Structure formats: C-alpha cells, structure tokens
Amino acid sequence: MIVKEGLEDVIACRSSISRVEIEDGKAILEYRGYNIHDLAKHSCYEEVAYLLLFGELPTKSELEAFKEELKDLRELPPQIIGLLTHLPPFTHPMVVLRTAVSYLGSMDKYIHYRSYEHSIEKAKSLIAKFPTIVAYYHRIRTGQNLVHPNDELDHAENFLYMLYGEEPSELEARCLDLDFILHADHELNASTFAARVAASTLADMYACIVAATGTLMGPLHGGAAQKVIEMFREIAVPWRAEEYVKEKLKRKERLMGFGHRVYKNVMDPRTIELKALAKMLAEQKDSKWFEIAEAVEQAAYKYKKLLPNVDFYSACIYATLGIPDDLFIPIFAIGRIAGWTAHIIEQYENNRLLRPRALYVGPKNRKYIPIEERG
Ligand code: CMC
C-alpha cells in the first residue's frame, strides 16, 4: 500500500466543473472551461452560479430568469428566523449557517429526492438563502431590525443591503460580487471533497452542505480568512509586519493566508485578482489594511518564500469594507455554495462511493484480558 498523506495529488474523481492546473509555471483556474480572469472582468455572481450549475453561460434571458428565481427564493421561512433568534448571540455565524441548513432540510418534504431536477431546485434555494441567513443572524445578534431582501438589488448588493440596512455604493457591491465569483468553486478543496464524500453515500443535499460548511470553517481552509484579520490586528502597523512574520516562522508557526496544497511556488490566480481589488479599495476608501497586508506578504516571501492564498487579500477587502471579522468565513461560504451544489449534483449523476483505505499502524493480534485481571 502506498500512503498519500493528506491525499496529496490523488485523483479521486472525474469532474468537469473547475480546472486547476499549472502550465509553464503559471496557475490556471477555469470554471467549466472559462478562465477566472475573464469571469472576474466580465461576469457577475449569478452568471457564474448558473455556469457552475448548468455547465454553460446563460443567454441574457436565461440569466434574467435565473436572477428572478433566486430573488423569489431569498426570504427565509419564519421557523428559520425563529431559530436565528433563539441561538445564543455568541454563536459563530458559520455554526449558525450549518444549523440553519440542517433545519431547512427538515422543512423540505422532498429532502431525499436526488433527481437532477430536484437537486437543481434545492441548489437554487440554498444559493439564494445563504446571504439572508448570514445577514439576518447578524442583525438579530446585534439587536437590529431585520432588513428584508430587496428585489431591485442583485445578489451581492442585496447581501450588503440586508446586512447594513442601506444600499451599498457601486464599488462596495462590485467588490463583493467579484469576491463571490472568485470563491465560487475550486475543484476538490477540502469542503467540496467533504460534500462529495457525503453525496457519494447518496445522503441528501442538506447533509452534504452541512458537511461542507463544517469543513470550510477549519483554519487550514476557509477559517484562515478570519485568522488573517486577527493577525493584521495584532500587527497593527505596517512597520511591525516583518518582525512579526520572522518571529512567527522562527517558532515554526503557520502564517495564515499563505501556502496552498496545489499552488506550490506559483501564485494563486484568485490572489492576483483579489490583490488588485484590495489595492483599488485601499486607494478609494482606506489603505490601512492593504499596507499591512503588503508588508506581511513581502516578509513571508523574504523569510520562507511563502505566497499568499485566496484567504489573504479577501480578509483585507472584507476588513476595508468594515465587515465584522466572524463574517469572513460565511462570506466565503456564500460564494462557494454554487460550487458545492454543482459538485454534489455531479457526484449524484455519476456516483461511486468515495471510500479510501487506511494503512493500519496500531498494535495487532493482542490477547483480550478480562477486566478483573487487568492491572
Ligand atoms: N506558514 C508557514 N509555513 C507554511 C505555510 C504557512 N502558511 N504553508 C506551508 N508552509 C510550509 C510548511 O511548514 C512546510 O515547510 P517545511 O517543509 O519547512 O516543514 C511546507 O510549507 C509544506 O507544508 P505542508 O503543510 O506540507 O503543505 P500542505 O500542502 O499540506 O498545506 C496548507 C497546505 C494550506 C494547509 C498550508 O499552506 C497552511 O497551513 N496554510 C495556512 C492556512 C491557510 O491559509 N489556509 C487556506 C488555504 S487556501 C484556501 C482555502 O482552502 O481556504
């Protein structure tokens, strides 16, 4: 048996959703064959969600119809709002999200239906409701009235509107929309893999998404974004970054927002987009977090040749937009839900149970000693 620790470089399934490859020393990321840089430049989140779910870019009328469908699905059932009001206000919003997804499952009479048509309906509902769950919970825990979804607004701007109670500027809405696009899918990352493992047992879609949200929260995955802002707050001013990074690496600690299982020694294409966005936001709004981020990036490269990943400049963007630290991971999830559901559907459509083996390394053939005789 050859053990691939961490399943590194193991090809676990076939997929036609995201292509992540290194070609001539450059990283390529495509959704359904479309380059992430083109999508970042020309697309919007709803179009990307459509592309991930259906495999093709929508026509103008298909996109309009899809947007309308999502708008109609945004509002939460009163039972879910009741759940959000009853959870302790210190509950992390990611825990809220996974709890609400499970509750939504309990309210779906067709929870166990896995046909393509049923799965697409569930996917649309989850994509539409994720922002509402996060925004409503934030309003509730901060003692503010709910701001209901606004049908005049697109996905990203409506999220910011529900969160803050006022319409965001064009720049703020575009930043978040772009951020959702860049987070929408990434091949077999840990949370998507968790979702596909659950799907491979033919578990219901809500169960798969609970697995994915739980996995995303870990600091080695999406949880890194929240750790990045905590690091920036500790550093506080750019000139402290170098010493901070040097000391952390000397103590053999992980620098959050750096390193990647696939993009080794090559820049994550999403980071390129996010850094440009963070820079633009810094120029137009406030440069405090961007200056710290750049100083950390330079030091991480100087002392360990580490490159920033998708969570690094996302954290800078969210902080500059004034988003509370513990909403960073849920925002990742609001983007990634499109990819998760697309992967679950793909797994259902061409399923084989995902069940690897372990190399047993514990003791063998031990003699059982009755409890009375144990010393
Ligand atoms: N800080 C310090 N050293 C690092 C880091 C880091 N962030 N990432 C990798 N390394 C070093 C590691 O110490 C090891 O060095 P050495 O050979 O000297 O011991 C080498 O790089 C290889 O590390 P590894 O743990 O074998 O690499 P991996 O592919 O298993 O780890 C990772 C990938 C993402 C878990 C890791 O880079 C990490 O812990 N990063 C910090 C957490 C983070 O930012 N996670 C977000 C990941 S990307 C987006 C997402 O999934 O959300």
Instruction: Give me ligand 1 centre to Cα 82, in Å.
Output: 40
Instruction: Give me ligand 1 centre to Cα 307, in Å.
Output: 10
Instruction: Give me ligand 1 centre to Cα 259, in Å.
Output: 4
**pLDDT score of 117:** 98
Per-residue pLDDT of the chain (375 residues; tens, 9 = 90+): 889 999 999 999 999 999 999 999 999 999 999 999 999 999 999 999 999 999 999 999 999 999 999 999 999 999 999 999 999 999 999 999 999 999 999 999 999 999 999 999 999 999 999 999 999 999 999 999 999 999 999 999 999 999 999 999 999 999 999 999 999 999 999 999 999 999 999 999 999 999 999 999 999 999 999 999 999 999 999 999 999 999 999 999 999 999 999 999 999 999 999 999 999 999 999 999 999 999 999 999 999 999 999 999 999 999 999 999 999 999 999 999 999 999 999 999 999 999 999 999 999 999 999 999 998
Nearest CA, atom 26, ligand 1: 261
Same domain, 309 and 339: no
First to last CA, the chain: 37
- For residue 253, which atom of ligand 1 is closest to its CA? 2
Vertex 162 angle, CA 157 and 167, to 5°: 50
Beta carbons within 8 Å of 335's beta carbon, 6+ residues apart? 45, 179, 180, 181, 182, 183, 184
Q: Please, is 132 exposed, middle or buried when counting C-beta atoms within 10 Å of its C-beta (0-12, 13-18, 19+)?
A: buried
Which of 265, 309, 311, 318, when mutated, tests ligand 1's pocket best, judged by the most ligand atoms within 8 Å of its CB?
Answer: 309
Same domain, 131 and 255: no
DSSP state, residue 360: -
**pLDDT score of 375:** 84
List the CATH number of the domain containing 96: 1.10.580.10
In a domain, 4, yes or no: no
Q: What are phi and psi of 18, to 5 degrees?
A: -120, 140
Same domain, 236 and 154: no
Domain count of the fold of the chain: 2
Which of 260, 270, 328, when mutated, tests ligand 1's pocket best, judged by the most ligand atoms within 8 Å of its CB?
Answer: 260
In a domain, 100, yes or no: yes
**Active site (catalytic) residues:** 260, 311
Instruction: Give me ligand 1 centre to Cα 282, in Å.
Output: 27
Which residues form the domain of 312? 224-320
In a domain, 296, yes or no: yes
Same domain, 165 and 290: no
Instruction: Give me ligand 1 centre to Cα 260, in Å.
Output: 6
- For residue 312, which atom of ligand 1 is closest to its CA? 44
> How far, in Å, CA of 98 to CA of 91, rounded?
11
Residues with beta carbon inside 6 Å of ligand 1? Answer: 6, 189, 220-222, 224, 254-261, 304, 306, 309-311
> How far, in Å, CA of 101 to CA of 80, rounded?
9
Same domain, 199 and 280: no
In a domain, 102, yes or no: yes
Nearest CA, atom 27, ligand 1: 261
Query: Residue 12's closest CA among 358, 359, 357, 354?
Result: 354
* Residue where a domain terminates, one of 320, 337, 358: 320
List the CATH number of the domain containing 308: 1.10.230.10
**Spatial contact of 312 and 258, defined as CB atoms under 8 Å apart:** yes
Which of 258, 306, 313, when mutated, tests ligand 1's pocket best, judged by the most ligand atoms within 8 Å of its CB?
Answer: 258
- For residue 8, which atom of ligand 1 is closest to its CA? 29
- For residue 191, which atom of ligand 1 is closest to its CA? 51
Same domain, 257 and 284: yes
- For residue 332, which atom of ligand 1 is closest to its CA? 52
Which of 186, 250, 254, 274, when mutated, tests ligand 1's pocket best, judged by the most ligand atoms within 8 Å of its CB?
Answer: 254
Task: Give the global pTM.
Answer: 0.97
In a domain, 311, yes or no: yes
Same domain, 259 and 140: no
> How far, in Å, CA of 95 to CA of 79, rounded?
17
Query: Residue 300's closest CA among 271, 258, 340?
Result: 258
> How far, in Å, CA of 60 to CA of 331, rounded?
27
Same domain, 132 and 239: no
Same domain, 131 and 173: yes
Same domain, 229 and 169: no
In a domain, 193, yes or no: yes
In a domain, 40, yes or no: no
Same domain, 169 and 283: no
Same domain, 55 and 197: yes
Instruction: Give me ligand 1 centre to Cα 306, in Å.
Output: 9
CA 16 to centroid of chain Cα atoms: 19
In a domain, 22, yes or no: no
